[in-house]
């Protein structure tokens, strides 16, 4: 049984009284008649593993039936885009007991809906069904929220099959990181490092990235979601690479920060060591029952201690976390759920839990075995925060702003690994890319 068959069974047992219908994604035009590269909807991938557009899945829990509907394409489609698998091919390729063309969808739903309590479909699917000729859905209420909750609940805990797909994404992305680190030289453009990373992923057969690659040299690393990737890398720069490929929608999301010329300066080492020690300590603490927001609070404490040791922060550590001074240097969350949406959902678990650390982060959940999360602390010198007059007034007792001004050309450091929570002991780390200082220096090209 492939993982997607298991996912369909699990969803069917959560929603036993209705009919589950989900339409996959369609191509979206980018400009004129040119489409964006097609990326399947995450929920549809979760239930089918099918990367073709315009498909529909129908799950009938009471009859234990699962049907994949595939588009019937005309000869023009075959001329321009090639054939799509027919029903027999689709059945064996995707592991479905039944596959039909999409023109049979209305009749199949009419047949299966007798005695059903609800139609579990998302809004997009309900809108599509509303346009189908001859399909009366009166008496069968649509329940998009119930479907959303069930899918979030299931998708939060990763199955062994899903973890295997993320392992592939991590292995390939890890090799691509090593290639990028080997290639980096002062004088290169950021996009040349991007080209090395992305071509290494492509060469290994992963043709889709999980998100747009960030290659940020020097000060650009202080822009959290930097996207220009067009500056020239200079000799003393640190280069921050945050990137990852995906396999059937399952991502890697890795960050490394490395010296362009292969050697950290003293100052870079100091900042890097604080981030690295924090990251390793937080990975070790990521165990079942731990609340993610508490981990984040703990990571802020460690970063605050480190910045105090460098004279950038002053005063009691608890106060620096509480009054937000540490967030001038570390303004994002420690972790997020990792899955088909990269920043994946923790589902209804989030609503059930107060945020005991009172940290303004989106990801608040008690860690469970099978959760895949990132661990990604950072330290940045962000001009927009450090030169903000109101923030300078507010934090003048906590931050040595004169000293911080001397770091405005530094940029930032982030280190990010992908881990899976285990029932006991420390988590499994899917990321295999050098991160110790001597390993990073050995992995980098020498300018």
Q: Which residues are catalytic?
A: 33, 225, 242, 253, 332, 336, 343, 376, 380, 414, 416
C-beta of 268 vs 431, nearer to Mn ion:
431
The gap from C-alpha 208 to its chain's centroid, in whole angstroms, comes to 13
Given CA atoms 44, 48, 52, 56 in this order, what sign does their dihedral have? negative
Cβ atoms of residues 318 and 305 within 8 Å: no
The minimum distance between CB 305 and Mn ion, in angstroms, equals 24
Closest CB 431 distance from Mn ion, rounded Å: 11
Task: Give 72 or 332: the residue with its C-beta nearer to Mn ion.
Answer: 332
Query: Which residue, 292 or 374, is less far from Mn ion as judged by CB?
Result: 374
Give me the least distance between CB of 244 and Mn ion, in Å please: 8
Distance, in Å, from the CA atom of 253 to the CA atom of 212, rounded to the nearest integer, reads 11
Q: How far apart, in Å, are the Cα atoms of 397 and each of 224, 303, 305, 391?
A: 26, 18, 16, 11
Q: How far is the CB of 416 from Mn ion (least distance, A)?
A: 5
- Residue closer to Mn ion, measured from CB, 125 or 374: 374
CA dist 193 and 435 (Å) reads: 18
Sheet holding 254-259, edge to edge: 214-217, 238-243, 254-259
**Which region, left, alpha or beta, applies to residue 64 given φ > 0 means left and ψ of -120 to 50 means alpha?**
left
Q: Which is nearer to Mn ion, 121 or 165 (CB)?
A: 165
Shortest Å, Cβ 337 to Mn ion:
10
Q: Which is nearer to Mn ion, 326 or 334 (CB)?
A: 334
Q: Which stretch binds Mn ion (CB under 5 A): 132-140, 159-167, 251-259, 354-362?
A: 251-259
Work out the widest C-alpha separation in the chain, in whole angstroms: 74
Number of Cβ within 10 Å of residue 326's Cβ equals 29
Least distance to Mn ion from the beta carbon of 51, Å? Answer: 23
Least distance from Mn ion to the Cβ atom of residue 336, Å: 6
CB of 342 to Mn ion, least distance (A): 7
Q: Which of residues 359-378 bind Mn ion (CB under 5 A)?
A: 374
Among 52, 60, 253, 418, binds Mn ion (CB under 5 A): 253
What is the secondary structure of 368-414 as a DSSP string? -TT-EEEE--EEE--HHHHT-HHHHHHTTTTB-HHHHHTTTTT-EEE
Of 299 and 374, CB closest to Mn ion = 374
Nearer to Mn ion, 113 or 414 (CB): 414
**Size of interface with Mn ion, in residues (CB under 5 A):** 2
Of 124, 66, 59, which Cα lies nearest the Cα of 94? Answer: 66
Give CA angle at 397 (362, 414), nearest 5°.
40
Sign of CA dihedral 257, 263, 267, 271: positive
CA 235 to CA 356: how far, in whole Å? 44
Which string of x and - marks every residue 211-250 that binds Mn ion (by CB under 5 A)? ----------------------------------------
Q: How many beta carbons lie within 10 A of that of residue 130, not counting itself?
A: 10
Establish if 344 lies at the interface with Mn ion (CB under 5 A): no
CB of residue 257 to Mn ion, shortest distance in Å: 14
Residue 231's alpha-carbon distances to 185, 217, 296, 302, 353, in angstroms, are 13, 7, 32, 32, 43
Of 168-176, 252-260, 267-275, 358-366, which part binds Mn ion (CB under 5 A)? 252-260
DSSP H or E stretch at residue 442: helix 437-443
Q: How do beta strands 238-243 and 214-217 pair?
A: antiparallel
Alpha carbon distances (Å) from 357 to 189, 196, 276, 391: 41, 40, 22, 22
Nearest to Mn ion of 252, 444 (CB atom): 252
What is the binding site for Mn ion (CB under 5 A)? Answer: 253, 374
């Amino acid at each position: 049984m492939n993982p997607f068959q298991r996912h369909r069974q699990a969803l069917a047992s959560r929603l036993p009284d209705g009919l589950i219908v989900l339409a996959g994604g369609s191509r979206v035009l980018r400009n004129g008649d040119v489409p964006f590269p097609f990326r399947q909807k995450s929920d549809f991938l979760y239930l089918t593993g099918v990367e073709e557009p315009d498909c529909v899945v129908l799950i009938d829990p009471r009859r234990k039936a699962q049907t994949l509907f595939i588009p019937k394409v005309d000869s023009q489609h075959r001329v321009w885009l090639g054939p799509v698998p027919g029903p027999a091919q689709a059945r064996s390729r995707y592991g479905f007991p039944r596959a039909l063309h999409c023109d049979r969808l209305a009749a199949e739903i009419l047949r299966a809906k007798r005695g059903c309590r609800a139609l579990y479909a998302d809004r997009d699917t309900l809108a599509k069904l509303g346009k189908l000729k001859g399909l009366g859905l009166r008496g069968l209420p649509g329940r998009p929220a119930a479907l959303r909750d069930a899918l979030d609940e299931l998708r939060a805990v990763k199955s062994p099959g899903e973890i295997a797909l993320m392992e592939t994404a991590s292995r390939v992305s890890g090799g691509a990181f090593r290639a990028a680190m080997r290639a980096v030289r002062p004088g290169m453009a950021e996009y040349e490092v991007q080209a090395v990373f992305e071509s290494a992923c492509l060469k290994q057969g992963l043709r889709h990235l999980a998100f747009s690659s960030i290659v940020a040299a020097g000060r650009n690393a202080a822009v959290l979601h930097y996207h220009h990737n067009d500056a020239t890398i200079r000799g003393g720069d640190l280069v921050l690479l945050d990137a990852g490929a995906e396999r059937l929608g399952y991502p890697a999301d890795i960050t490394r920060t490395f010296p362009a010329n292969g050697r950290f300066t003293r100052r870079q080492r100091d900042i890097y060591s604080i981030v690295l020690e924090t990251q390793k300590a937080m990975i070790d603490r990521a165990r079942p029952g731990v609340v993610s927001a508490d981990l984040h609070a703990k990571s802020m404490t460690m970063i605050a201690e480190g910045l105090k040791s460098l004279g950038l922060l002053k005063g009691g550590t608890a106060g620096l976390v509480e009054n937000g001074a540490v967030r001038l240097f570390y303004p994002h969350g420690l972790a997020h759920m990792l899955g088909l949406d990269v920043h994946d959902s923790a589902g209804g678990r989030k609503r059930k839990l107060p945020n005991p650390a009172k940290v303004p982060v989106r990801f608040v959940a008690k860690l469970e075995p099978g959760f895949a999360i990132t661990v990604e602390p950072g330290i940045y010198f962000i001009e927009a925060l450090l030169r903000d007059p109101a923030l300078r007034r507010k934090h003048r007792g906590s931050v040595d702003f004169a000293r911080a001004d001397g770091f405005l050309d530094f940029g930032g450091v982030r280190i990010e690994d992908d881990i899976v929570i285990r029932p006991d002991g420390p988590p499994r780390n899917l990321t295999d890319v050098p991160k110790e200082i001597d390993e990073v220096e050995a992995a980098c090209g020498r300018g």
